[in-house]
Amino acid sequence: MASNIKKAFSSALIAGLIFLGINASMGIPLGGTASGGFAGGGDHGGADQIQRNLIAAGQTLESSPRHLLGDPVVLLGSSLVMSPLWAADVRLGHFLQDVNMHHRSLHMKEEMDKFGYHKDAVSLATPGQFVSDAYLIVDKHLKDKNRPEILIYGIAPRDFMDSTTSGLVTSVFNQLVAITDMPKIKDLFLESFDDHMNFVLERTVFLYHKRTRYQTKFEEAVEKLTCRLDKYLAPKTESAAAPFLMGTDHDAIWKQSTEEYARRYKTANEPLFQKQTKCLRALMQLCKERNIKLYIVAMPLSKTNMALMPPGLYQHYMDTLKTETGKADVPLIDLAADGNYSDDDFYDTVHLNQTGGERFIKQMTALVRANSQGIAFTPELLKNVNVESPEPVKPQLATPALTSPAL
């Protein structure tokens, strides 16, 4: 009996050591870069699209020519910020990267150059960026030598709540937060015992960290095998959708966007809304501590999109922004109310097209100009912007977008 127990214990110990050895050799360190920064160079094949976007954004920020132009102007937000920057550049022929890897606004720099403000314009916007993600990006990267002259943060109701995702432990979170950050972030991100355990396991056990990826691969393999055994079970192939921001069927694009945001707005998740509000307070406090001039910009939305929200959500969102920015003495720019946007300025129900992108760039440049002259923001700054309508230039370097799901 004793020998059997000893043998079982020895087998378990050996199996445990082998398991730990596999994890040590395959995946340490996990969860965030060693310094908490953007990973530069190396193989990022294990990162998802949003994480690759974030890595490229960080490299753009770090390569900004501060020795010539000083600290840059930085823009932050979700694909609602990505789309106008990319569309405005494409309209003028600056098509060097697809929208996911477009992290420098050449058109905004040109507009700033016109009034003698020679600064780089860098975008740290990522698809589906929540307020909590924005806080982490500011915390990890907008400091020391990477501190911006001005930070323009474009925000929208979906950044506070989304019925299709938890909205806290995201791709950005997993890319930026290391286990050593636990004492700092636990009050904002980790509430239950399960949250704490999951956080630790994600960053110490490689196989646990990769469990979702392996599960997906296994399910795909089973599906392929099943289809080979029974041809009638073969999945139906659908025609490929147009890359994000490059579709031409307006009605189909609008319909798809309407259906998508009906799902996103399906449930008013007040607990998540309050958690994201806490992250907004933390972000504004961080900018104050680091002496970063911050503008919060409530992004414009189409009338169709606003109509999809649960009753009272948009007013709750705007009331929250006004209250929180007022307490923090941070300027709030309401583009929906004061930006003079119409549905003709949108590619779909939330993303600005080339015309809307031109307006957005002009208005953000007006903000920067007023700041450089010591002029406080007023809505008149937006209304006095003259938006020209130049003929779009056909891009010469057309690179298809890598992915279409933008948030």
Q: What is the pLDDT of residue 388?
A: 66
> In total, how many domains does the chain have?
1
Tell whether 6 is covered by a domain: no
Q: What is the pLDDT of residue 395?
A: 41
Rg (CA), the chain: 23
Q: State how far the alpha carbon of 82 is from the alpha carbons of 76, 116, 257, 351, 406, in Å.
A: 9, 25, 17, 9, 10
Q: What is the pLDDT of residue 237?
A: 52
Q: What is the pLDDT of residue 308?
A: 96
Cβ-contact 312, 167 below 8 angstroms = no
Q: Report which residue type is found at 96.
A: L
Tell whether 207 is covered by a domain: no
In the sheet where 293-298 sits, what is the strand order? 121-123, 73-76, 150-155, 293-298, 332-334
Q: What is the pLDDT of residue 57?
A: 92
Tell whether 403 is covered by a domain: no
Measured distance CA(182)–CA(76) in Å, rounded: 24
What is the DSSP code (8-state) at residue 292? -
Tell whether 125 is covered by a domain: yes
What residue numbers bound the domain in which 128 lies?
47-191+244-383
Give the contacts of 141 (CB within 8 A, at least 6 positions apart).
Answer: 37, 38, 58, 61, 124
Closest CA to 226 of 216, 215, 218: 218
Tell whether 107 is covered by a domain: yes
At residue 121, what are phi and psi to the nearest 5 degrees?
A: -120, 105
Q: What is the pLDDT of residue 171?
A: 87
CATH code of 106's domain: 3.40.50.1110
Q: What is the pLDDT of residue 244?
A: 74
Measured distance CA(114)–CA(102) in Å, rounded: 22
Q: What is the pLDDT of residue 211?
A: 62
Tell whether 215 is covered by a domain: no
Cβ-contact 308, 268 below 8 angstroms = no
Q: What is the pLDDT of residue 31?
A: 46
Tell whether 201 is covered by a domain: no
Q: What is the pLDDT of residue 98?
A: 82
Give the contacts of 260 (CB within 8 A, at least 6 positions apart).
Answer: none
Measured distance CA(380)–CA(387) in Å, rounded: 14
Which pair of tokens denotes residue 75? 């823009």
Measured distance CA(87)–CA(355) in Å, rounded: 8
Tell whether 354 is covered by a domain: yes
Cross-strand pairs, 150: 73, 293
Q: Which residues of the chain have pLDDT under 70?
A: 1-47, 96, 206-220, 223, 227-242, 388-407
